[in-house]
Structures are given as C-alpha cells and as structure tokens.
Structure 1
Amino acid sequence: MRFMIIVKATAATEAGVMPEAALLAEMAAYHQELARAGVLLDGNGLKPSSQGWRIRYEGPRRSVIDGPFAETKELIAGYTLIQVRSREEALEWARRFPAPHGEGVAAEIEVRPLFELDDFPPSPAIDALRAL
C-alpha cells in the first residue's frame, strides 16, 4: 500500500523561504530512517506556486493559469511517498514525521492512500497501465 504524506503550504513557503538548517537535518534523518526501513519511495519539497501553473479544462478547451495561487491553505509545500503493508504502519510513520515548519509552529500534515491498479475493475485500460 502506498501513502502520500502531504505538507501543507504556508505564507512563508509560498514566499520561497527556505527551511532552517535544523529542520532540514530533522527531515533528512527521518527520510534516511524511512529508506533504511525500505518504505521510502520519494520525498521532496515543492517550489512556491508562483513558479507553477494550472491547466483549466472547459469542454475541449485548455487554458493555462500562471501562479501564484491565493489560497495558501489549499496548496502543498512538499510530500513524502511511502510503501508499507498497512494503514496502521503508515500511521506509525506519519506520527514520527518532523514538525514540518519547525518545532513550536502550528502545522498539519495530511496522509492519503494512493489508488493501486487492483482497486479498479479489470479492463483493457487497466491492462495497458499495468504494461507500463
């Protein structure tokens, strides 16, 4: 089972403020522990939304909307992707996640399971995705 640990953005992350060295060290140690346990698939911080864009779909039309995006509470500052045996194991790892914006700073992470191909009914499209 794969799970994504999502770090919510803040005004500081959206302003491009880099994490302090102590927080980077905590995150590095945590991710090294995940790697040693064989459950780390990926993890990274995201640059501010001012450097990104969205694609809006309206019927057959596609339009590009450049960042920044106003609703910080809806933005993601980073993620960690893990593969574990159960929801309970994912919860154990998530509880050990370092305070994402530093100790003493109110924050929240979100953990969500990823769909697996086995979650979908059999079909030629799923077979094509398995072949990738």
Structure 2
Amino acid sequence: MRALVLVKATVDSEKGTFSKQWMDGMMQAMGKFNDALREAGVLVMAEGLKPTAQARRVVFDGPGRTVIDGPFTETRELVVGFWIWEVKDMDEAVAWVKRCPNPMPGPSEIEIRPFNEMSDLP
C-alpha cells in the first residue's frame, strides 16, 4: 500500500521562525527517522514545504480560474511537509508515524492518506 503522510502546519511553521538550536536538533532526529524508513524499504520520497506566504492557489469555477496569493489563514488545514511511503497496510503506516519525532516544537499532527490503487477503481 502506498500512503501519503502529511505533516500539518502550525502557526509557528507558517511564520518560519524556529530557533536554530531547535531546527538543528529536529533535522538530526528527522534524518535518523528517514534513515530508518529508507533501511526498512518504506521511504519513497520526503520533502518539506515553504510557508504559504510563498504559495498560490488556483480556484476553478467551470471554465474560470482565479489565482489566490498566500499566505493562507486556516493553518490547521495546511501542510508543511510530506512523505510517500510503501507499507504493508495502514497499521504499519501508523506504527511508523508513532516512531516519528514530533515535527514541531509544540503540539502537531500527522495525517496518513492511502493512495488509490488500480485495484480500488471500478
């Protein structure tokens, strides 16, 4: 099963104002976690995203297109990073997320979304 694992943004991640000390420790801890994912054959891809102040949204309405410049305010719904994993099932994905270092200095959230596979489609 392939899964998209989403690291949700926080007010702090949108500000991009983490201390150098925290960032250094987080990068080291996350690097070790990613190494474990890679060694287990789980990691397909991992990336961090810039704050939404540097983002755009394109809104579709029939043939019309409207571009909206960031930043976006609904922080709880935003994504600051992601992985693509190849796992046996959702239980394995959850077990890996539980091993993940907290990606933020305070409370944070990670969402796991399975990809549609050809066998899922009618």
Q: TM-score normalised to the size of structure 2?
A: 0.91
- Offset from partner CA, 1:65-122 (integer Å, 9 cap, x none): 11111111110111111001112211211111110113xx22221111111122112x
1:79 and 2:82 equivalent?
A: yes
Are residue 116 (structure 1) and residue 117 (structure 2) matched?
yes
Q: Gapped runs of 5+ residues in structure 2?
A: none
- Secondary structure of residue in 2 paired with 1:107: coil
Give TM-score scaled by structure 1 length: 0.84
| 1:21 alignment partner, one of 15, 20, 24 | 24
Aligned length: 119
Alignment partners' CA distance in 1, 2:17 and 2:77: 18
In structure 1, distance between residues paired with 2:118 and 2:51: 31
| Structure ranking higher on relative contact order (CA contacts 8 Å, 6+ apart) | 2
How much is the aligned-residue C-alpha RMSD, in angstroms?
1.3
Specify which of 97, 100, 111 is matched with residue 97 of structure 1: 100
Unaligned runs of 5+ in 1: 122-132
Q: Is the radius of gyration larger for structure 1 or structure 2?
A: 1
Identity %: 41
Alpha-carbon distance between aligned partners in 1 of 2:117 and 2:23, rounded to the nearest angstrom? 36
Amino acid paired to 1:114: F
**C-alpha distance in structure 2 between counterparts of 1:79 and 1:17, whole Å:** 20
